[in-house]
Structure 1
Amino acid sequence: MHAKRREIDVIAPDPVNLERPPLRAGWQNTPRYGPLDHTVAGPAIAIVLLILPAVLAVMGANQVAGWLDPLIVSVTTPLAESIDGWPGALGAVFAGDYGLLTMGPLLFVWAVPTVLVYSVLISAYKASGLADRIGTALHPLLRPFGLHGRDVTQVLMGFGCNVPAIVSTRACLSCTRPTTVGAIAFGSACSYQLGATLAVFAAADRSSLVVPYLALLVVATLVYTRLISKPDMRATLSALLIESRTVLTWPSIAAVGAEARGMIWAFFRTAVPIFFAIAMIASILEWSGALDAAGPLLAPAMAVFALPAEAALPTVLAAVRKDGILLLAEAGTVASLNATQLLVATFLAGTVLPCLVTAITIGRELGVRFAGGLVLKQSAFAATVAATVGWASVLLVG
């Protein structure tokens, strides 16, 4: 007889928890409170920091040009005088008013030092985290204009080159990206544009115009973004979605060097050859008499902005490439412009249209229809601002 098997349920013991409960240490790893975090003083300091690189770039370029200009002129002037008698367009291309030996020194004496200093400073801003901290401080001021604090980083990047800045707006909020792209295309004076503009001011012995130029550019950009932005982004509830205080560190030489090298190399690779091409085209137009013939036709268009006809050629060429602004430094053109007219001419040449490469990039990123509409809006607004400033000066000053 088989014994009946008894089944006994065996219950396993509860697992022993050997982990200790976390203990609160009583401290947090947060960035130190600084001047940029002050409610009132922070935005003011941020604005000063935005303008500071351009001012320092001008001061540095003036110092370099002070001893470099006589050396360059002593070499190019005799050479230009010997070439001036060459037959045909060849003499005009090399030694004319817009010739390579005439305009080339302006590029290397004034524009190149400006680009070098500015590239290093902007690279230091980004490598240290200061660019992000500036954006955080400016967010309360930017919100009514439809911009986000974090968009400042992309706008600052545009001061090196608009193209990578526009591509980087993929990281922006989808609702602020069109406005940020518009701000870059209109108000981010790339290193080519800014270098040429500051070189024109220096060559005209009006370096003090850099402050009103930047002020006009900033104010006009804010008004422009206000007009093209969505109402939702200007709402009070539009909050900053990044950490309130970015960690600030001393920028490493390697990081600053890598960033600055990219901007400087892009300038020499792109801007310098195109500038020489523009100078050659202008020289041939002058030699052929086309500029003299176009003067009566362009004078009414320039009169809209209270500008002489001499400012027409740089404005047209700068609309394609911002390097063309440097043609405003030609001796005859500079002599025909007073301080306000020079300010209006450089502003109009730099903002009436995004450069061709920038417009193509916008079309590739956001569509051809959006790019076309943005170009029309930018042209109309830039022309309105330039005409307003030009004629206001005429009416107030005479």
Structure 2
Amino acid sequence: MLNAELTAVLVGMESAGKSTIFSKLTHYVTGEEVNFRGSTVVCRRAVIHGTNITIVDTPGIRHQSDSETTRMALREARQGDVIVFVIRGTHAAFELKMLSRELEDYRYRVAVILTFEDKTPISFCRAVEQFCQTYGVPFVSVDARAFEHRKHALIVQAVRSAKLLTRPLHEIFALDLANVDPPNTLLEHKTVGPWLALILTILLFGVPVVAAYLFASVTQSYLDTWILNPLRGFMQAEPYWLQVFSVGDYGLLTLGPYSFLWAFPVVVFIGISVAVTEEMGLKDRITDALDPWLQKVGLEGRDLIPVLTGFGCNVVGVLQSRACGQCTRRQCVSLISYGSACSYTIGATLSLFNSAGRPLLFLPYIFVVFIVGAVHTRIFNRKTIKLPDTPRKTFLQRPTWKGIGFRVRAIVKQFMLQAMPTFLLICMVAALLDELGIIPWASSLLSPVFMLFHLPGSVAPSVLFSMIRKDGMLVLNQHGILGELSIVQLFVVVYLASTLSACLVTLWTVAREFSWRFALQIAGKQAVTSIATSALLAWLVPFGKQMSLITGFMHLMS
């Protein structure tokens, strides 16, 4: 890296194919064949395979955007030796013109890579190539998803042969070509589109959650019979402190397996669902269709991408919010923190509702969390003026197994190396605090507070641990607490535990992205909304009766 021949920076608009080209040139395994807008929120560096050329992958640039990712890309471009314009052949003239204006105050060595070769008319490719040759700009046309070795060599040659341009970029790249837009679907229909997008969004997360629930509910009895019960019996003969940390009320074998059983399938199934829609390009169509509705809560359609990502992991959602405009990013993070129930939250709530014999409570729970999160975002964030942006429909295409497999592998790795160790640590800390009498003392101390919500003090540990990690609420599974709670109490304690605060890792990420002051502001506002709505739910007796009737009816139907 230090003795690099030169540094080439890939610059282009969203969905142009920069990350795919980066992965192919470097033989880098991440980000292969990703087909969703705004997938890159950081700059990545590597060496082009077989050369000493450093290549930099940058986030996509938006037209007339003030997003952090756009500024990041332009800043990186100005520090490179060669700028490689990565443009969609279907929108070559518009994208070359826009990129040239963004960088018009500088002189650069420039090369051009035209992507979407398979969707671009041959006449367009020849026109761009001829235009580049006229001004001495190296040009390569590729289909990034079917990258050939020959193209690898041509791109390396183009980077090395790029020469310093003497004329302003916007004067050079003044092509006059029409755009080739993807075909319209029902999602682009003004009336039908938003409703169809809403249905697809519900299916996008609803189907994986149902599948995860069915898998976990069937598997749990086998897990207890064949693995956990024998292990617990074996541990009874071990020393007392080993029993405390393994099979005690908060032991690793008592709570740990249920976190894995109920959270892991949710993580994997949602990961597969999201990966498929991203690979197809469908996710962008959905977010564009929902733009008019999201504007009512101070967001843009594109801001839904980080919010949806937050359902997998809030931390990743906060990082993805870098692609939001500065006028909407804080609102987006606020909604992620409150309304995006992450995979671990979903897994924990499914486990608790199922253990209490009320699995269908999950439906009103997830609805209330998201709706209250949207209202919370609108109340605490004033309406702002958004910069106009040019709609960019994504080409729909078949997903690839490599793209899907990479995403799912990354999610599984994160769960196994980060999520589970943290939860197991919570179990050990809880076991120690319980043995020292601190948990019973805290429960007694906080009993008057929880009485405001018609809740017993014994639920205090679940709420406290959920502020560290969302599946910390699984400690409710102990001491027979769930059996003592009414349906309304169960709903309220799960809602309170999941919304009182974002987990510590999410707050830490928000502080790093913005400031600790903003992170604490978000935490404070979220706590106010959570406490107020939890109290409202607890005291709204008619609502509880209606919920009991609805749940009872659904039980009969099932």
Partner of 1:337: 485
Q: For each residue in 1:322-378, what CA deviation from the matched residue of structure 2 results, as whole angstroms up to 9, or x when unmatched?
A: 120222333612212233322222222122111112112111211222222111111
Inter-partner Cα distance in structure 1 for 2:366 and 2:520: 26
Partner of 1:30: 181
Q: For each residue in 1:228-283, what CA deviation from the matched residue of structure 2 results, as whole angstroms up to 9, or x when unmatched?
A: 223224xxxx5762426332222222112212222221111111011111112222
- One-letter code aligned to 2:496: L
Q: Is the 8 A contact 1:200 1:329 kept in 2?
A: yes
Match among 171, 195, 204 for residue 356 of structure 2: 204
Partner of 2:219: 68
Match among 378, 385, 389 for residue 537 of structure 2: 389
SS at match of 1:119: helix
Inter-partner Cα distance in structure 2 for 1:248 and 1:340: 44
Partner of 2:196: 45
Q: Is the 8 A contact 2:361 2:491 kept in 1?
A: yes
Q: Which shows bigger deviation, 330-339 or 261-270? A: 330-339
- Superposed CA RMSD in Å reads 2.5
Q: For each residue in 1:132-183, what CA deviation from the matched residue of structure 2 results, as whole angstroms up to 9, or x when unmatched?
A: 1121111111111101111001111112222232122222111111111111
TM-fit CA distance, 1:67: 4.1
Inter-partner Cα distance in structure 2 for 1:214 and 1:41: 24
TM-score, normalised to structure 1, is: 0.85
TM-fit CA distance, 1:110: 2.0
Q: Is the 8 A contact 1:51 1:214 kept in 2?
A: no
Q: Does 1:180 align with 2:332?
A: yes
Inter-partner Cα distance in structure 2 for 1:203 and 1:57: 20
Alignment of 1:149-298 (within 5 A): 149-233=301-385, 238=386, 241-243=389-391, 245-298=393-446
- One-letter code aligned to 2:181: T
Inter-partner Cα distance in structure 2 for 1:303 and 1:48: 39
Q: Is the 8 A contact 2:205 2:273 kept in 1?
A: no
Match among 124, 134, 140 for residue 276 of structure 2: 124
- One-letter code aligned to 2:490: L
Match among 194, 206, 216 for residue 55 of structure 1: 206
Q: Is the 8 A contact 1:148 1:240 kept in 2?
A: no
Partner of 2:241: 89
Query: Which one has a larger percent helix, Structure 1 or Structure 2?
Result: 1
Query: Which one has a larger percent strand, Structure 1 or Structure 2?
Result: 2
Q: Which structure 2 residue ranges, 5 or more long, are not aligned? A: 1-130, 132-175, 547-558
TM-score, normalised to structure 2, is: 0.62
> Of the two structures, which has the highest relative contact order with CA contacts closer than 8 Å and spacing of 6 or more?
1
- One-letter code aligned to 1:294: A
SS at match of 1:160: coil
Q: Is the 8 A contact 1:81 1:95 kept in 2?
A: no
Using a 3 Å threshold, how does the CA distance of structure 1 residues 324 and 83 change in structure 2: closer, same or farther?
Answer: same
Using a 3 Å threshold, how does the CA distance of structure 1 residues 155 and 394 change in structure 2: closer, same or farther?
Answer: same
TM-fit CA distance, 1:66: 4.3
Q: Is the 8 A contact 1:353 1:378 kept in 2?
A: yes
- One-letter code aligned to 1:329: N
Q: Does 1:300 align with 2:448?
A: yes
Inter-partner Cα distance in structure 1 for 2:478 and 2:274: 29
Using a 3 Å threshold, how does the CA distance of structure 1 residues 386 and 250 change in structure 2: closer, same or farther?
Answer: farther
Partner of 1:14: none
Partner of 1:316: 464
Partner of 1:380: 528
Q: Is the 8 A contact 1:274 1:323 kept in 2?
A: no
Using a 3 Å threshold, how does the CA distance of structure 1 residues 248 and 304 change in structure 2: closer, same or farther?
Answer: farther
Q: Is the 8 A contact 2:469 2:504 kept in 1?
A: yes
Match among 497, 513, 516 for residue 368 of structure 1: 516
Q: Which shows bigger deviation, 316-325 or 242-251? A: 242-251
Q: Which shows bigger deviation, 386-395 or 270-279? A: 386-395
Q: Is the 8 A contact 1:169 1:180 kept in 2?
A: yes
SS at match of 1:320: coil
Q: Is the 8 A contact 2:267 2:344 kept in 1?
A: yes
Aligned length in residues: 371
Structure of greater Rg: 1
Q: Is the 8 A contact 2:208 2:266 kept in 1?
A: yes
Alignment of 1:1-12 (within 5 A): none
Using a 3 Å threshold, how does the CA distance of structure 1 residues 64 and 164 change in structure 2: closer, same or farther?
Answer: closer
Using a 3 Å threshold, how does the CA distance of structure 1 residues 31 and 316 change in structure 2: closer, same or farther?
Answer: same
Q: Is the 8 A contact 1:185 1:354 kept in 2?
A: yes
Partner of 2:32: none
SS at match of 1:184: helix
Inter-partner Cα distance in structure 1 for 2:359 and 2:186: 30
Q: Is the 8 A contact 1:191 1:267 kept in 2?
A: no
TM-fit CA distance, 1:220: 0.8
Q: Does 1:103 align with 2:251?
A: no
Q: Which structure 1 residue ranges, 5 or more long, are not aligned? A: 1-18
What is the percent sequence identity of the aligned residues? Answer: 35
